Chains A and B, each alone.
Chain A
Amino acid sequence: MDNEPQDPRQSLSTTLARPDAAGLPAENRARLETHVLRPHGQPRLNPPDYSISVRTKFGSDQLLHIPGQRRQSLRGFEDHYADIIDFIVRATHFVWEEKNVGYIYEFYGMESKVQDDSGQQFGRERVVAGTLQAINAFPDFRGYADEVVWAGDDEVGFTTSHRAVLRGTNTGYSAHGAPTGRKVHYWLIAECWTIANEIREEWVLYNTSAQLQQLGYDVRAKAREFGSQVQWDSVLAPRLGEPDRQLGHRKPEYLPAPTGGFDPGDFLRRVYHYIWNWRMFGKVRDAYAPNMRFFGPSDRQGYGRGEYQAFVISLISMFPDLMVTIDDQYWMGNEREGFTTSTRWSMVGTHTGPGVYGQPTGRRVYIWGITQHVIKDGKITEEWMMFNEFEVLAQILRE
């Protein structure tokens, strides 16, 4: 891909779609050698330990200034990145905290597909615009990486589940209105698929409901306003058919018995299937530690199995035909050190029961979320569950 000396007349030609390779900085060279990568069709591997994780990133000095030498194959990434965690943490810092918003041109693909609280969006420009608006609203923004679960490699792409804590003061205009002067402090999850220094797909849950609550807005009113912006004509009619949880009046399927040692993927599939799809809430007792901590959207907190069980029941009582499916799942760790997992999931249900979302509307609702679990000795000790609650409210309350 080296640029050969050209005939200057040729470079002036308007008929040739010759790529303009002028002015690329040196560190971008590495990003040109990526035609050999084969992102699809390869198995994605889960890291068997925490040697590359936020747990090894101690201190601002190392984290932001002196990341050290490369310790992982990162074909196509800029030279100075040491590993995938370093990439996620420092690129986020560079864009959001140092306010180099334009670096998004280097680290998002131009065709990036981003799923957030307002549905699926395409294109890098929208990421640039959204970031600008957020930094404008919260100029003192800080984003702490609390956990980054990752899997994959530079061939199939890195998948990262980035749980971040956001702090900031609303001193600028935001999408929700004039500056409130309030401080916000909440957590969120962004899952990214990165290849050759570029995020190609992203699923991000901004915990919008927590932000609105902390800014002092009426979340339900804002959701109604947001949901009503779309003209819901017959073409956009919500999902049809029944949630496909069981066949007719059969019962939900049984999963085959587990084989071999502890497999976190199998364990979590069982947890979701039996607790959520089978409504066997008592299994919370088997799968969760007695003093488990639950963190949810809108600043929800739960302590212990009893409160967690009740949270699950409250959702299913509002959406009695609720069905959950697992969309993506990966993890780090081993039995000795414990596992840290990330599960992206979807739920479909019909709002026919009472609960925190108000009187039943009969509307079909699509919920999707990302949950990080900490598993020790075969039991879940922490659950960080984020879902599109603001969008769910919008689906329910729109006019």
Chain B
Amino acid sequence: MSEQPAAAPVEPSPTSATPASAYLPPENAARLDTHALRYQTGPRRNPTDYSISLRTKFGTDQQLLRPGPRRQSLRGFEPHYTDIIDFIVRATHKVWEQKDVGYIYELYSHRTPVTDDYGLNWGRDPVIANTAQFINAFPDIRLIADEIIWAGDDEVGFYTSHRTVLKATHTGFSQFGPPTGRRLQFWLIANCVSVANEIVLEHVIYNTTSMLQQMGYDLRAKARELGNQRLQAGALNDPRFGEPARLPGQGKPAHLPPSTQAGFDVEDFLRRTFHYVWNWRMVGRIGDAYAPNVRFYGVTDRAFYGVGELQAFVLSMIAAFPDLVFAVDDLYWMGNDAEGYTTATRWSLVGTHTGPGIYGAPTGRRVTMWGITQHVIRNGRITEEWMMFNEFDVLQQLYHEGGGVSCRSAALADGIHTLHAQLSTGPVPGRTRASLGAPDRQVHRPARLRGRPPTAAYGVDRTPDAARDSHRGHRRQCRPAGRFHP
């Protein structure tokens, strides 16, 4: 199936669609030999250890300057990439920090569907335009990769869940207004599917609410303003239909059969937890599934500590949207029992705004949320949860002034890969946490982050050092202490 770039063109003719044999740099040659790949069609494997992970990338020299030799099959990728983590980190660095925005032409497919806080968008050109606008607003932008969970291979595609901390100063014009001069720091998640050096599917949540809040804007006013722009008077797609399909009429939610896998089944564990906590409203189960000292990081600078606060957060959502239904759209993970698991779950939630809460008096509007949650699981308990969802989109759905009209975004796109039966992880490999030199010290969580009621989320004044405490290294610090896990 391998063909040389020079072989294809025939004589040019004004009447035919003969392909133009444009000059291609040599590193693009590898990208032409991809007809044998089967994007999204095969079983997707989850890495059973952390040998290819952010944890093995120490230091700027190695990470950005000397990535080393290739250590993973990457058919179709440019030759200098060593593994999928290297690809994500260095390509992001090149585009966003070195400001080679045009590298997006090499990094995204021409038709990539991108779902973000503004709905579903197709195409590479909007990605380039948005990136240029973003870097214009934040010229000193830094994107620090905090965690990258990956699965798959070069055949079915690499699935990456990239949690990033963004730091920048707002010194240029943005889509929200003139420069405010404010210093920003917030985290975000981008889930990408990459094949042959190109991102072919992306779900990204920019944490726009955190950004606007830190820029000093009134979130609700901005949501109203942008939500109104999305309205289409008299549109045929106005009515919102049906009920969120959680219950069969007056029946009760379904029970899940027990896992058939011996030992800890991380996929079953998460699906079960989501189903019983969210769809069954068994909020008490949070106590079973989460470690007592769980850290929760949410959209709009939310930060909670411990089971009680997390329960309160879930309850506040169910109170505002009493008929909500939750579904897992995609789920993959890395790790093993000994080293623990890090997981990436993409989910969707539909509900009707008929209850009180931080979103104000009930509007009766149907709302669609979608999000990406990363979990750190140790000894069968969740010790960290990083939950990002399209909150700015949700605010627009609730605060626009279109009456009963929905301005629900198009944020429902999905690839063809949603419901794969995933292969379970294999035997436990030899690598241990200790060999990674993780600091073995007890966590001290700053008191100012503790005990904040969930309803105060919009008012949280998260100082930079508080945020720093909660970011880097937390994954390591949160190893379960013995007294909680006898």
Task: List A residues at the B interface (Cβ < 8 Å).
Answer: 25-28, 49-51, 55-56, 58-69, 71, 78-80, 90-91, 93-95, 100, 102-103, 105-107, 142, 144-146, 165, 167, 185, 209, 213-214, 216, 218-220, 285, 289-291, 293, 295-311, 313-314, 333, 336-338, 340, 356, 374, 376-377, 379, 381-382, 389, 393
Distance A293 CA – B325 CA, assembled complex (angstroms)? 14
B237–A61 touching, CB < 8 Å: no
B255 to chain A, nearest CB (A): 15
Q: Which A residues are CB-close (under 8 A) to B238?
A: 356
Q: Which A residues are CB-close (under 8 A) to B122?
A: 144, 146, 165, 167, 185
Residue of A nearest to B121 (CB): A185
5 residue pairs from A and B, CB less than 8 Å apart: A59-B196, A64-B20, A146-B113, A213-B236, A297-B236
B195–A90 touching, CB < 8 Å: no
B3–A69 touching, CB < 8 Å: yes
Distance A289 CA – B248 CA, assembled complex (angstroms)? 15
Interface centre among A50, A55, A381, A393 (most CB of B within 10 A): A55
Distance A71 CA – B1 CA, assembled complex (angstroms)? 9
Using known A-B contacts A304-B327, A376-B418, determine if residue A25 contacts B41 with beta carbons closer than 8 Å: no
Q: Which A residues are CB-close (under 8 A) to B11?
A: 26
Distance A285 CA – B249 CA, assembled complex (angstroms)? 12
With A219-B236, A310-B243 known, 6 other A-B pairs at CB within 8 A are A146-B113, A300-B237, A304-B244, A311-B241, A376-B416, A382-B414
B419–A301 touching, CB < 8 Å: no
A27–B10 touching, CB < 8 Å: yes
Q: Which B residues are CB-close (under 8 A) to A95?
A: 17
B447 within 8 A of A: no
B351 to chain A, nearest CB (A): 11
B451 to chain A, nearest CB (A): 35
B345 within 8 A of A: no
Interface centre among A68, A313, A393 (most CB of B within 10 A): A68
B418–A63 touching, CB < 8 Å: no
Task: Identify which of residues 75-89 in chain B touch chain A, using a CB-to-CB cut-off of 8 Å.
Answer: 76
Distance A233 CA – B429 CA, assembled complex (angstroms)? 79
Residue of B nearest to A217 (CB): B234
B350–A303 touching, CB < 8 Å: yes
B22 within 8 A of A: yes
A290–B32 touching, CB < 8 Å: no
Residue of B nearest to A145 (CB): B111
Q: Which B residues are CB-close (under 8 A) to A216?
A: 232
A303–B348 touching, CB < 8 Å: yes
Q: Which A residues are CB-close (under 8 A) to B241?
A: 302, 307, 310-311, 314
Q: Which A residues are CB-close (under 8 A) to B7?
A: 69
Task: List B residues at the A interface (Cβ < 8 Å).
Answer: 1, 3, 5, 7-11, 13, 15-22, 24, 28, 31-32, 34-42, 76, 105, 109-111, 113, 121-123, 125-126, 195-198, 200, 232-246, 248, 325, 327-329, 348, 350, 368, 408, 410, 412-414, 416, 418-421
Q: Which A residues are CB-close (under 8 A) to B242?
A: 302, 306-311, 313
Q: Which A residues are CB-close (under 8 A) to B240?
A: 307
A142–B234 touching, CB < 8 Å: no
B123–A144 touching, CB < 8 Å: yes
Using known A-B contacts A146-B111, A219-B236, A308-B242, determine if residue A58 contacts B24 with beta carbons closer than 8 Å: no
B347 to chain A, nearest CB (A): 9
B353 to chain A, nearest CB (A): 15
A58–B416 touching, CB < 8 Å: no
Residue of B nearest to A288 (CB): B245
Distance A365 CA – B267 CA, assembled complex (angstroms)? 48
Distance A216 CA – B232 CA, assembled complex (angstroms)? 7
B8–A68 touching, CB < 8 Å: yes
A290–B110 touching, CB < 8 Å: no
Q: Which A residues are CB-close (under 8 A) to B235?
A: 213, 219, 298-299
Using known A-B contacts A58-B198, A59-B196, A304-B325, determine if residue A309 contacts B32 with beta carbons closer than 8 Å: no
The 6 A-B pairs of least Cβ separation, nearest first, read A310-B242, A306-B245, A144-B111, A310-B241, A291-B327, A94-B17
Distance A59 CA – B416 CA, assembled complex (angstroms)? 18
Distance A102 CA – B16 CA, assembled complex (angstroms)? 10
Using known A-B contacts A25-B16, A56-B37, determine if residue A382 contacts B416 with beta carbons closer than 8 Å: yes
Distance A90 CA – B16 CA, assembled complex (angstroms)? 10
B444 to chain A, nearest CB (A): 40
Distance A303 CA – B413 CA, assembled complex (angstroms)? 10
A220–B16 touching, CB < 8 Å: no
Indicate which residue in B123, B243, B419 contacts A165 across the interface (CB closer than 8 Å): B123
Q: Which A residues are CB-close (under 8 A) to B36?
A: 56
Q: Which A residues are CB-close (under 8 A) to B121?
A: 185
Q: Which A residues are CB-close (under 8 A) to B234?
A: 213, 218-220
Indicate which residue in B3, B18, B237 contacts A301 across the interface (CB closer than 8 Å): B237
Residue of B nearest to A310 (CB): B242
B22 to chain A, nearest CB (A): 5
B19–A64 touching, CB < 8 Å: yes
A381–B418 touching, CB < 8 Å: yes
B71 to chain A, nearest CB (A): 22
Using known A-B contacts A144-B110, A146-B113, A291-B328, determine if residue A103 contacts B15 with beta carbons closer than 8 Å: yes
Distance A17 CA – B110 CA, assembled complex (angstroms)? 48
Q: Which B residues are CB-close (under 8 A) to A62?
A: 31-32, 34
Interface centre among A64, A79, A301 (most CB of B within 10 A): A301
A50–B16 touching, CB < 8 Å: no
A208 to chain B, nearest CB (A): 11
B237–A27 touching, CB < 8 Å: no
Q: Which B residues are CB-close (under 8 A) to A219?
A: 234-236
B200 to chain A, nearest CB (A): 7
B412–A293 touching, CB < 8 Å: yes
Indicate which residue in B10, B28, B244, B419 contacts A80 across the interface (CB closer than 8 Å): B10
Residue of A nearest to B18 (CB): A80
B19–A338 touching, CB < 8 Å: no
Distance A220 CA – B238 CA, assembled complex (angstroms)? 13
